[in-house]
Structures are given as structure tokens and as C-alpha cells.
């Protein structure tokens, strides 16, 4: 250190008075060779007084202006660089307590962001809203994650440009996504051009700048200072408070780089120091909270209720349509019914048509199709169905045939089979054709005669010399024919036992009687139905004559009515 | 890296946009598209000592109905004045523009390009007129053939740094 050549001796004296080390008033005091220099050195370096006042001097200098820090900055930088070159471990150990937590914090923030993003994507991936967003992503060609982000974001500052106001050149640029940085200088220039164009076109104040503009979902907010413009590209709906953030950032930059702005000649590296300030402007706010509160809003509940109601109505009407179609089909196919008209109502349905009195009850048609009685109103008009089943039933009710008479209807012809009184037969012939569907009545005994002849031609064999039935299947035929015969009854059936010629007459007679009894018992057992036995009276007797075979035979005798 | 703002100036239809396209993209199109307002392009050039990012402000050409907006010129480190060799009137426009730009940004490096030199049978301006206008800063150019295009821009870049 040496005295400033510009300083006068008076100024040097003033320094002494203010407490700085005492220096000789007369500069000539140093002109006497080495002894003087040695004295000066002793005063400056060796004196304890210097060490006492140096900290205070440094403190005062820092408060006064930044000259001392500017002067020492290159020395400090150089010393740090040299220290790292010599032994990096010293500085690394010194910085470790700071770097460790900083790295942990950065990693934690990155992980938190990633987990939040993952949760958000997962939550919205399978919900109805998520499906809607997937469709939007497909339609717009964006990734699903990007759509989720855009939909759940209130706002996000994507890029911030620091622009030199005078030239429009880009001073610094920060972006959330590094891919967005490639044409930042072009964007910067065009922003300035647009701002200049607006300024010229609308003749605004000299200092006025374009305030903002919006394109699709992107807002561009612009803040101006005397030397710089800060432009921020914001996705979503930013709050007005964000403007204050930008404004404060720009003020800070304007203040910090005042000198650099004045001397700016296109060299922008100086403004890299403004990056931390710009990065603070890259803010974002998710809108997840508001979405959650809206999830169970009354409107949603009403819409949900209406949706369930609509679904229930659809299901009910679908089911009702299904059973209604079934009912109509049943009525169309049911014998004794003819459908002429129908009307499907919201609550009750109506069916009109014709109904034969002999047909089944209409309530059965309803129950078959899961309707209650009150669900469908029937309106029937009576008619006589020409279906053979109904014609025959109608003939039975009208003619009231006596026992032993069987009615058969086919193609308009009613055939009366069996035996009846002559009066009844005459009435049947007279009144039959009056019945709807019957054109002619035919009296026929052929069927009964054939049946009697068949029964009488049957024989059941026994083992010769015994009273055991040989197992002839003819026995089954006899019992079946007797059931048919009972419909024409009453009759008497004689069971005749026969013996062959090998034995004595007495023995043969006894065997014949026994065989008739056994056969009668067997038939009674088989015709266990009392109604049949009431009409078929079975009598057994042994034949006094012999035959070629060991057997029984049958004879049908008509009984008088 | 250093950045410089360069303005492309001249009458309408003299070939400013074609010169920029030839310099930036090395392409030329016969189709004429009139520039509305301004279009900004960028080209990074490597000079001996450093790289320079040239921000090229291609301004709408001046004619009877449209005058160049001074605010577009503000902060320009240099400019290229383009004259159409086949249109003598474009020289008058260029002179007017130069007065305006010197008034707006002062004395800054510039180049004058007498463009469309490939249309030899239509040239209306002779060499003396060119020298009278800007002395040694004059180049004959052709955006179509690329003649003197790179030389003009690189020459201006050297003057600016």
C-alpha cells in the first residue's frame, strides 16, 4: 500500500485524525533513503495498530461503496481456483454441509414432482373423465400425460424471455422444457416487432409496450422496464398476482444490470447471471383442489340420479316390451282366441279380440307372460272357434251322448260310434249339423263291432296239464281292448276256459273252470280301474268241450241300456 | 456469442426476402410474396474470432402507400439496403430510406446490394450510379444465383463486430 498520489498532505492528515494509521505529514520525510522506507514498512506491516484498525476499515469501506469488494473479487476468484487446482478436497469438504442438503432437496423435489405427475396420470387414466381426455389426446395428437397436465393445471409459466428493449435481441431465456429453447431469439425478435408494430399503429406513449396477448390456451404477458422487456408464456389461466412477480423480477434485473444495459453491444453472456431471477418466474399452480370439491356437487348428484332413473326406465320398458310381445304372441297362438286390436300404454295395455267360451281363461294368458290381472285390459267378443277340439267339445255339450257312444270329429264330419237308443241317434242326426263347424253327422257302429270281433278272436294259452298262463302276449292285447270297450259300455265279458283232449272229462272240466277263474282274476287285476270294471262285467266259466289247445277264449255280450 | 440486429431495407419488390432466404436457407423461389410488416430470420455465422448471431429483420418494402416504421429500425447494428438493378426508381427509394435510417439510428455499418444482376437484359442502372451512391460498400448481387449474397452479409457482419 502506498499513499495515493492525488491526495494532498492535508487529506493525509485528515485520515490520521479519523483514526487511520499515523503517517508523516511531510512527504519529504520519506526521501531520506532506506531508513525512511524501513520506518514505513514497520508502521504498515509490523505495527499492531494496523491489525487493530484493518477490520474496521474494511467494514467502513464496504458500507461506503463496493470498491473494496470489486477490488478483491478477482483475487478471491483466483484464490478459489488455485485452491481447487491444488487440492479440491479442501473446498469440497468445506462445501459438503451445503451441497449435501442442496442435492437431497433437489432430488426430493424431482421425486415429489414425478410422484405427483404419476398419481395424477393414474387417477385420471380409468375414470370417465380420463376416457374423455384419452379421446381428446387421440383427436389432437397430444400425449395423454400432456392432456392430463393441461386439464388439471390452473396455470403454468412455460417460458420467460428477457429481451433488450432497444434492439429486440434476446438477453436470456429460461423454459420448463429445454426443447422450447431452440428459437427463443426468433421469438424474442418477433415479440419486439409485434410490440413495435402495435406501438406505431396505435400511437401509444413512447414508453408503452404490448401488455399481453393470447393464442389458444397460451397467454403471453409482457412487462417493460427502461432497458428490458420480460415476456412470459403462460399456459392456463394465471392470476393477476403473477404480474407482480414478473414486475418485481424485471425491476431486480434492471437494478442489477443497469450498467450492462447501457453498454450492451450484442454480447449477452453477462445476463446469464439473471437466470436465477427468471427461473423464479417459472411458476405453476395445479387446479386439482377445485376439481375435487366439484366432484360431488349437487349438479353431479342430480345428473347421477337422473342417469340411474333413465337406466331403470330403459330396463323396465325393455322388459315390458319383451313380455308384451310374448303376450301378443300367446294370444295369437292360443286356441279359442283371435286378436283383432291392441294398444300399449305407459301404465296399462289394452287387448281386443274374439274369444270362444270353451277357451282357457284370459287371466292364464297374463300369468304365463308375467302380467298381473290389472296390467292389461281385455275386451273380448264371443265367437265359436272352428278348431276340431272346440267343435268336438261343443258337440259333446250339445248332444250329451249316452255311455257307450263315442264322438269323433274330422273335416266337418261328426262320427257317432257305439250303441245308443234310436231316439238319441235321431236327435244327433238332426241337431248335429246346427253346431258350428259340423256339416254332417254319421252314425257308425263299425268301430265297436271291429273291437268286439278283435277281442273275441283273441286267445290266451296255458301250459297243458296245468293252470299256469304260458306268458302269451295276447293277454296284454285283451286288457287294452277291454279299456277301449269300456268307453262304449256296459258289456259283459265271458271268459271261457278250455282243456285239450288228453285227460278224462272230469279232469278236463275242472281244469277248464280253473283256467277261466285264473284268467278272470288276472284281468280284474290288470283292469284295476273301477270305472272300467263298472262297465265291463267279467264272468268265468269252463267249457264242457275240449279243444286242440290249452287256452281261454272271450265272448262280449252287449247289455241293454 | 454475440448477437446483432440487421435490417433489410429497400423499395418493394427489390428482392430483400429472397436475399435473406438465399443467405439463410440457400433456396430461391420465383414466386413473389409481399412481406407484410416484418419477418425475422436468424443466421449464425462464424467469423475469425467469434460466432455472430445475425438477427435479420426483413422489413416490408417501401412504396407510395407504405413508409417504413422507424420503430423497426431501433437498435439495428447494421443494415442492408437493396436496390433493384432493373428498376431505376428503387434507387431513389433507397436514398430516401438511407436518410431516414441515419436519422433514426445514426451511422452504423451497412451494405448496398444492387440485386437481380442475373437479369442482364433488363438492367437500367449503370456502374457510375452505383458508385455515386455508396462507394465501395456496393455489391452487385443475385438472390437467384447466390452471387455476392454470402459476401454481402458476411462483410456486414465483419464491419459490425
DSSP string, A201-263: HHT--TT----EEEETTEEEEEEE-SSEEEEEEEEE---THHHHHHHHHHHHHHHHTHHHHHT
Distance separating alpha carbons of residues A393 and A437, to the nearest angstrom: 11
Helix (H, G, I), strand (E, B) or coil at A486: helix
Query: What is the model's pLDDT at position A166?
Result: 84
Residue A7 has pLDDT above 60, yes or no: no
CATH of the domain at A195: 3.30.450.70
> CA-CA distance, A458 to A499, in Å (whole number)?
16
Q: Residue B152 has what pLDDT?
A: 93
Q: How far apart are the first and last CA of chain A?
A: 165
- pLDDT tens-digit map of A542-559: 887 777 788 899 999 887
More confident: A34 or A399: A399
Q: Does residue A157 form part of some domain?
A: yes
Q: Are residues A158 and A234 in the same domain?
A: yes
Name the percent of chain A lying above pLDDT 70: 84
B75 touches A at CB < 8 Å? yes
Lowest mean pLDDT among A195-204, A220-229, A249-258, A435-444: A195-204
Residue of chain B whose Cα is closest to the Cα of A267: B2
Task: Report the alpha-carbon angle A463-A465-A469, nearest 5.
Answer: 25
Greater pLDDT, A178 or B55: B55
Half-sphere exposure of B114 (CA within 13 A, CB side): 28
Top pLDDT among A404 and B94 is at: B94
User: What distance separates the 2 farthest-apart alpha carbons in chain B?
Assistant: 44
> Quick one: pLDDT band at residue A4, thresholds 50, 70, 90?
very low
Q: How far is CA B160 from CA A35, A263, B9, B10, in A?
A: 58, 15, 17, 20
Q: Is the ipTM of this complex over 0.90?
A: no
With CB atoms and an 8 Å threshold, state whether B38 touches A193.
yes
Distance, in Å, from the CA atom of A459 to the CA atom of A552, rounded to the nearest integer, reads 6
Q: Which of A437, A542, A446, A431 is nearest to A494 (CA)?
A: A542
CB-CB contact of B56 with B40 (8 Å): yes
Strand ranges of the sheet holding A376-382, from the earlier edge strand across to the other edge: A337-343, A349-355, A376-382
The torsion of the CA quartet A250, A255, A256, A259, rounded to 10 degrees, works out to 120
Residues of A with CB under 8 A from a CB of B: 164, 166-170, 183, 185-186, 189-190, 193, 196-197, 199-200, 265-269
Based on the domain organization, do A346 and A468 belong to the same domain? no
A262 and A401 inside one domain: no
Residues A268 and A153 in one domain: yes
Query: How far from chain centre, in Å, is Cα A188?
Result: 49
Residues A353/A338, Cβ–Cβ less than 8 Å: yes
**A358-362: average pLDDT:** 88
CB B107 within 8 A of CB B139: no
Domain boundary among A358, A382, A406: A382
The x, y and z cell numbers of residue A380, run together, are: 273380448
* pLDDT for position A268: 85
For residues A347 and A312, which has the higher predicted lDDT (pLDDT)? A312
* pLDDT score of B136: 61
Q: Is residue A214 part of a domain?
A: yes
pLDDT tens for A82-105 read 888 888 888 887 887 777 777 777
Q: Does the pLDDT at position B38 exceed 60?
A: yes
Cell of A309: 332413473
CA distance B71 to chain A (A): 6
- Please, which pLDDT band fits residue A122 given cuts at 50, 70 and 90? low
> Lowest-pLDDT range, A200-209, B9-18, B73-82?
A200-209
Which of A166, A196, A267 is facing B2, going by the closest CB pair?
A: A267
CB pairs under 8 A between A and B: 66
Residues A172 and A285 in one domain: yes
State the best of B4, B71, B74, B76 to mutate against chain A, taking most chain A CBs within 10 Å. Answer: B71
Q: What is the arithmetic mean of pLDDT over A251-266? A: 87
At residue A12, the pLDDT reads: 39
Q: Would you tell me how many other CB atoms lie within 10 Å of the CB of residue A304?
A: 11
Cβ–Cβ gap A169/B42 under 8 Å: no
Of B4, B71, B74, the CB nearest to A266: B4
Q: What's the pLDDT at A351?
A: 92
Lowest mean pLDDT among A280-289, A361-370, A379-388, B68-77: A280-289
Question: Do residues A101 and A239 both lie within one domain?
Answer: no
Per DSSP, what are the bridge partners of residue A157? A234
Residue A295 lies in a domain: no
Position A13 scores a pLDDT of 38
Q: How many other β-carbons are positioned within 10 Å of the β-carbon of residue A55?
A: 9
Confidence of residue A114 (pLDDT cuts 50, 70, 90): low
Higher pLDDT: A119 or A141? It is: A141
pLDDT mean across residues, chain A: 81
Class at the top of the CATH hierarchy for domain B2-160: alpha beta
pLDDT of B80: 94
Q: Are residues A427 and A278 in the same domain?
A: no
Q: In a 10 Å sphere around its CB, with 0-12 CB exposed, 13-18 middle and 19+ buried, how is residue A522 labelled?
A: middle
Please indicate, yes or no, whether residues A423 and A366 belong to a single structural domain of this protein. no
**Residues A169, B76: C-beta atoms closer than 8 Å:** no
| pLDDT for position B44 | 92
Contact status, residue A91 vs residue A80, Cβ threshold 8 Å: yes
Q: How many domains does chain A have?
A: 5
* Distance in Å, alpha carbon of A189 to nearest chain B alpha carbon: 7
- CA-based nearest distance B19→chain A, Å: 18
Mutate to test the interface with B, among A164, A168, A203 (most CBs of B within 10 A): A168
Same domain as A264, residue A208: yes
* Per-residue model confidence (pLDDT) at position A11: 41
Contact call for residues A442 and A414 (beta carbons, < 8 A)? yes
A197 → closest Cβ in B37, B41, B42: B37
Give me the sign of the Cα torsion angle A34, A35, A38, A44: negative
**CA B93 distance to own-chain centroid:** 13
Closest CB to B40 among A189, A200, A269 = A189
Q: Sorting pLDDT into bands at 50, 70 and 90, what band is A119?
A: low
The answer to whether residue A171 is domain-embedded is yes
- Residue A344 falls inside a structural domain: yes
- Per-residue pLDDT, averaged over A174-195, amounts to 81
Q: How confident is the model at residue A133 (pLDDT cuts 50, 70, 90)?
A: confident
pLDDT score, position B151: 92
- Find which of A68-72, A509-513, B134-138 is predicted with most confidence, using mean pLDDT: A509-513
- Based on its alpha-carbon atoms, the radius of gyration of chain A, rounded to whole angstroms, reads 62
A195: closest CA of chain B, how far (Å)? 10
> What pLDDT does residue B146 have?
92
Mean pLDDT (whole number) for A404-414: 86
Does the beta-carbon distance from A185 to B74 stay under 8 Å? Answer: no
Q: How far is B86 from chain A (nearest CA, A)?
A: 31
Cβ neighbors of A447 (< 8 A, separation 6 or more) are A406, A417, A418
Mutation target vs A (from B20, B35, B54, B55; most A CBs, 10 A cutoff)? B55
Which three three-digit cell numbers place residue A49?
Answer: 495498530
Instruction: Examine the pLDDT at B64 and tell me if it is beyond 90.
Output: no
Q: For residue A46, what pLDDT is reported?
A: 63
CB atoms within 10 A of CB A475: 19
Q: Cα angle at B43 between B38 and B48, to 5 degrees? A: 140
Counts for chain A of helices (H) and strands (E), in that order? 20, 16
Q: Name the percent of chain B lying above pLDDT 90.
A: 47
Same domain, A356 and A405: no
With respect to residue A461, please indicate whether it lies within any of the assigned structural domains: yes
Contact status, residue B79 vs residue B96, Cβ threshold 8 Å: no
Q: Does B47 touch chain A (CB under 8 A)?
A: no
> How many angstroms separate the CA of residue B133 from the nearest CA in chain A?
27
Amino acid A177: pLDDT: 79
Task: Please give the share of chain A, as a percent, with pLDDT higher than 90.
Answer: 16
Could you tell me if B106 and B135 are in contact, meaning their C-beta atoms sit under 8 angstroms apart?
A: no
- The residue range of the domain holding A420 is 388-443
Domain boundary among A382, A414, A431: A382
d(CA A237, CA A302): 29
Q: How many angstroms away from the CA of A187 is the closest CA of chain B? A: 9
Amino acid at each position: 500500500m502506498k499513499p495515493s498520489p492525488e491526495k494532498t498532505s492535508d487529506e493525509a492528515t485528515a485520515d490520521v485524525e479519523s483514526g487511520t494509521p499515523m503517517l508523516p505529514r511531510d512527504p519529504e520525510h520519506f526521501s531520506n533513503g532506506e531508513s525512511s522506507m524501513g520506518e514505513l514498512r514497520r508502521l504498515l506491516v509490523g505495527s499492531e495498530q494496523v491489525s487493530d484498525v484493518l477490520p474496521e476499515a474494511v467494514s467502513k469501506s464496504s458500507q461506503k461503496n463496493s470498491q473494496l469488494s470489486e477490488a478483491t473479487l478477482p483475487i478471491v476468484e483466483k484464490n478459489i481456483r488455485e485452491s481447487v487446482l491444488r487440492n479440491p478436497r479442501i473446498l469440497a469438504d468445506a462445501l459438503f454441509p451445503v451441497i449435501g442438503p442442496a442435492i437431497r432437496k433437489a432430488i426430493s423435489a424431482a421425486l415429489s414432482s414425478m410422484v405427483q405427475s404419476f398419481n395424477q396420470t393414474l387417477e385420471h387414466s380409468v375414470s370417465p373423465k380420463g376416457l374423455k381426455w384419452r379421446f381428446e389426446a387421440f383427436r389432437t395428437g397430444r400425449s395423454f400425460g400432456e392432456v392430463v397436465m393441461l386439464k388439471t393445471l390452473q396455470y403454468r409459466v412455460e417460458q420467460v424471455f428477457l429481451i433488450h428493449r432497444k434492439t429486440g435481441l434476446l438477453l436470456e431465456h429460461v423454459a420448463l422444457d429445454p426443447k422450447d429453447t431452440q428459437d427463443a431469439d426468433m421469438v424474442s425478435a418477433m415479440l419486439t416487432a409485434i410490440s413495435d408494430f402495435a406501438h406505431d399503429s396505435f400511437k401509444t406513449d413512447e414508453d408503452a409496450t404490448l401488455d399481453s396477448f393470447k393464442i389458444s390456451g397460451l397467454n403471453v404477458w409482457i412487462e417493460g422496464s427502461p432497458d428490458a422487456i420480460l415476456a412470459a408464456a403462460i399456459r392456463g389461466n394465471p392470476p393477476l398476482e403473477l404480474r407482480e412477480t414478473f414486475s418485481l423480477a424485471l425491476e431486480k434485473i434492471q437494478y442489477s444490470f443497469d450498467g450492462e444495459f447501457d453498454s450492451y453491444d450484442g454480447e449477452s453472456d453477462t445476463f446469464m447471471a439473471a437466470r436465477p431471477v427468471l427461473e423464479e418466474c417459472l411458476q405453476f399452480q395445479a387446479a386439482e383442489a377445485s376439481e375435487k370439491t366439484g366432484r360431488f356437487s349437487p349438479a353431479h348428484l342430480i345428473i347421477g340420479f337422473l342417469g340411474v332413473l333413465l337406466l331403470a326406465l330403459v330396463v323396465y320398458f325393455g322388459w315390458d316390451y319383451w313380455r308384451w310381445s310374448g303376450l301378443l304372441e300367446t294370444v295369437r297362438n292360443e286356441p279359442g282366441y283371435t286378436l283383432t286390436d291392441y294398444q300399449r300404454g305407459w301404465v296399462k295395455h289394452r287387448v281386443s279380440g274374439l274369444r270362444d267360451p270353451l277357451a282357457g281363461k284370459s287371466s292364464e294368458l297374463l300369468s304365463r307372460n308375467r302380467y298381473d290381472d290389472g296390467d292389461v285390459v281385455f275386451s273380448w267378443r264371443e265367437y265359436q272357434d272352428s278348431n276340431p277340439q272346440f267343435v268336438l267339445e261343443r258337440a259333446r255339450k250339445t248332444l250329451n251322448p249316452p255311455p257307450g257312444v263315442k264322438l269323433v270329429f274330422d273335416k266337418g264330419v261328426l262320427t257317432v260310434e257305439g250303441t245308443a237308443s234310436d231316439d238319441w241317434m235321431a236327435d244327433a242326426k238332426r241337431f248335429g249339423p246346427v253346431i258350428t263347424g259340423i256339416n254332417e253327422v254319421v252314425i257308425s257302429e263299425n268301430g265297436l263291432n271291429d273291437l268286439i270281433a278283435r277281442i273275441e278272436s283273441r286267445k290266451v294259452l296255458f301250459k297243458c296239464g296245468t293252470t299256469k298262463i304260458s306268458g302269451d302276449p295276447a293277454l296284454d292285447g285283451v286288457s287294452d281292448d277291454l279299456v277301449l270297450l269300456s268307453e262304449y259300455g256296459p258289456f259283459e265279458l265271458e271268459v271261457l276256459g278250455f282243456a285239450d283232449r288228453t285227460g278224462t272229462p272230469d279232469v278236463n272240466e275242472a281244469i277248464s273252470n280253473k283256467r277261466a277263474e285264473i284268467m278272470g282274476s288276472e284281468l280284474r287285476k290288470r283292469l284295476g280301474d273301477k270305472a272300467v270294471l263298472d262297465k265291463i262285467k267279467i264272468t268265468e266259466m269252463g267249457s264242457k268241450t275240449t279243444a286242440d289247445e290249452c287256452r281261454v277264449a272271450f265272448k262280449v255280450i252287449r247289455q241293454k241300456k | 456469442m454475440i448477437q446483432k440486429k440487421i435490417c433489410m431495407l429497400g423499395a418493394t419488390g427489390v428482392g430483400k426476402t429472397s436475399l435473406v432466404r438465399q443467405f439463410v436457407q440457400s433456396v430461391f423461389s420465383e414466386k413473389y410474396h409481399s412481406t407484410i410488416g416484418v419477418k425475422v430470420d436468424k443466421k449464425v455465422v462464424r467469423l475469425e474470432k467469434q460466432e455472430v448471431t445475425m438477427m435479420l429483420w426483413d422489413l416490408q418494402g417501401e412504396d407510395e402507400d407504405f413508409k417504413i416504421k422507424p420503430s423497426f429500425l431501433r437498435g439495428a447494428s447494421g443494415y442492408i439496403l437493396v436496390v433493384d438493378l432493373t428498376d431505376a426508381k428503387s434507387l431513389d427509394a433507397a436514398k430516401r430510406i438511407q436518410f431516414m435510417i441515419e436519422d433514426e439510428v445514426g451511422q452504423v455499418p451497412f451494405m448496398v446490394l444492387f440485386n437481380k444482376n442475373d437479369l442482364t437484359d433488363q438492367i437500367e442502372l449503370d456502374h457510375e450510379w452505383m458508385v455515386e451512391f455508396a462507394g465501395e460498400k456496393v455489391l452487385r448481387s443475385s438472390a437467384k444465383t447466390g452471387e455476392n449474397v454470402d459476401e454481402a452479409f458476411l462483410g456486414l457482419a465483419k464491419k459490425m463486430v
